[in-house]
Chain A
Amino acid sequence: MADLKKAIVDPLWDQNPLTIQILGICSALAVTGKCMPAATMAAGVTLVTAFANLIISSGRNWIPPKVKIIIQLVVVAVLVIIADQILKAFVYDVSLTLSVFVGLIITNCIVLGRIAAFAVANPPVPSFFDGMSNGLGYGLVLMSVASFREIFGSGTWFGIKVMPEGYVLNGMVVLPSAAFFCIGALVWIQKSLTPKLVEKG
């Protein structure tokens, strides 16, 4: 029971996939210009990671180690195809803005990283929650960066106008390089709040 709680709580802060484990950075930086794609991406990654963990963990005792990576990739790819088709069917506009990044969930290191680090050695239920909460930890960072960039860069939040009239849009926050600064600053804040996370050397 304690393990289950640890599996759920850790990835949100102490073991956050983006800021501490260095997993899944590519997509996080690329989709955070606006909130809507970021939220969609976070939901997609959460569900794919959770179910991929569940499936791999259920089959962990009979998947031959030699073809492990291929099988994992195939499972993830199938889940991503499902997610992609759902997005195309229901929120076509968002799927256009995400373009190749939905496909890139396959190579998102969070998914494969959690499979390799957790699902292959743990029973299905904790694995499912581990995947889910890693996805949520990822979503948390994603949403904070996206909110910051959308509010200051476009003056809107989820497309709703929040900044007063006369606010001059900050063009720099919508550039890709600003994503780096935002995440860098987040890492700094997080590590200052929790000193045990500071890296040595």
Chain B
Amino acid sequence: MGEQISLTLRAMFPENMALAFLLGMCSFIACSKKIEQAHGLGLAVIFVLWICGVMNWMIQKFLLEPGPLNFGKDLTYLGFLCFIATIAATVQFLEMFIDKYSPSLYMSLGVFLPLISVNCAILGGNLFMVERDYDFVSSMNYNFSSGLGWYLAIVLLAGIRDKLRYSNVPDGLKGLGITYVITGLMAMCFMTFAGL
């Protein structure tokens, strides 16, 4: 139990997907202009990362690693292809499902849902899980908490950028430049949680 809690905390803070491994940065920078937007995208990332984590864990363990289902052959080199296909398919399926059963949620997520399939945080989380050889419970926990960490980071950044609109930024730094600097400062803050 203690091990799981420490895994959760580690995945959320010192090993934060966005700020320590710099994953999902493109949407992190591009979609953090408004808090609502960041909130919707963050929730979608938590959800997709978690579901894909479970599915890809099963694919890795039962289909790719040598075992009875693939006649003892080692198919792990096909990992990338299988994982990205799973993610793209999950996102597509999720989109249809949400559209049918909760149109209001679908409207609020809007364009971000399809964008998630190319968010590197998802594929990255799944690849880390495979590389570190987590068992089933740990990988569910890991994927969920790293999604949560990503959500936290993007909402915080969106909040700061909201405030920034009233400050006086040098011309060349406007927009992208200052966002990088803020993200760098946030990354430093999150690193202080190391050893928690």
Give the residue among A100, A104, A201 with the most B Cβ atoms within 10 A: A100
Complex CA gap A135/B170 in Å reads: 29
Residues of B contacting A: mostly? helix
A9 within 8 A of B: no
The answer, among B88, B120, B173, for a CB contact under 8 Å with A188, is: B173
B123 touches A184 (CB 8 A): no
Return the contact of A106 from the options B84, B176, B187 (Cβ within 8 A): B84
The CA-CA distance from A198 to B178 in the complex, in Å, is: 12
Residues of the A chain whose Cβ atoms lie less than 8 Å from the Cβ of B184 = 177-181, 184
The answer to whether B191 and A187 touch across the interface, beta carbons within 8 angstroms, is no
Q: A26-B23, A188-B170 are in contact. Are A80 and B80 (CB under 8 A)?
A: yes
Does B134 sit at the interface, judged by CB under 8 A? Answer: no
Indicate if A70 sits at the interface (CB-CB under 8 A): yes
In the complex, the answer to whether A25 meets B174 with C-beta atoms within 8 Å is no
Given A69-B117, A81-B78, residue A180 in contact with residue B183 (CB < 8 A) = yes
A109 touching B118 in the complex, CB below 8 Å, given contacts A81-B78, A103-B127: yes
A182-201 with Cβ < 8 A to chain B: 183-184, 187-192, 195, 198-199, 201
**With A70-B88, A73-B88, A74-B81 in contact, is A199–B174 under 8 Å at CB?**
yes
Q: List the one stretch of B4-12, B14-22, B59-67, B99-107 in contact with chain A.
A: B14-22
Question: B98 contacts the other chain (Cβ, under 8 Å)?
Answer: no
A62 to B172, CA, bound (A): 44
B77 touches A85 (CB 8 A): yes
Inter-subunit contact A22/B88 (CB<8 Å):
no
Label chain A's interface by main secondary structure. Answer: helix
Binary flags per residue of A84-116, CB closer than 8 Å to B gives 1, else 0: 110000000000000110011011110010000
Determine the chain A residues whose CB is within 8 A of the CB of B23 once the complex forms.
Answer: 26, 30, 104
What chain A residues lie within 8 Å of B80 (beta carbons)? 77, 80-81, 84, 103, 106
B24 interfacial contact with A, CB 8 Å:
yes
Report the minimal beta-carbon distance from B111 to chain A, rounded to whole angstroms. 13
B127 touching A177, Cβ below 8 Å = no
User: Which of A26, A80, A201 meets B174, CB within 8 Å?
Assistant: A201
B175 touches which of A24, A99, A199 (Cβ 8 Å): A199
A85 to B122, CA, bound (A): 22
Interface size (A, Cβ < 8 Å)? Answer: 48
Measured as residues with beta carbon below 8 angstroms from the partner, the interface class of chain B is: 35 or more
Interfacial residues of chain A within 34-91, with CB under 8 A of chain B in the complex: 69-70, 73-74, 77-78, 80-81, 84-85
B174 touches A109 (CB 8 A): no
- Closest chain-B Cβ to A97's Cβ sits at a distance in Å of 13
Residue B119 at the chain A interface, CB threshold 8 Å = yes
Within 8 A of A (CB), among B58-113: 77-81, 83-85, 88-89
> Which residue of B84, B174, B175, B185 contacts A107 across the interface (Cβ within 8 Å)?
B84
In the complex, whether B40 has a CB less than 8 A from a CB of chain A is no
The residue on A at minimum CB distance from B114 is A69
Apart from A19-B176, A103-B83, A188-B177, list 8 A-B contacts with CB within 8 A.
A77-B80, A81-B81, A100-B127, A107-B120, A175-B188, A177-B19, A177-B191, A187-B180
B contact set with A: CB distance below 8 Å: 19-26, 29-30, 77-81, 83-85, 88-89, 114, 117-120, 122-124, 127-128, 131, 170-181, 183-185, 187-188, 191
- Hey, which bits of chain A sit against chain B, CB under 8 A? 19-20, 22-27, 29-30, 69-70, 73-74, 77-78, 80-81, 84-85, 99-100, 103-104, 106-109, 112, 175-181, 183-184, 187-192, 195, 198-199, 201
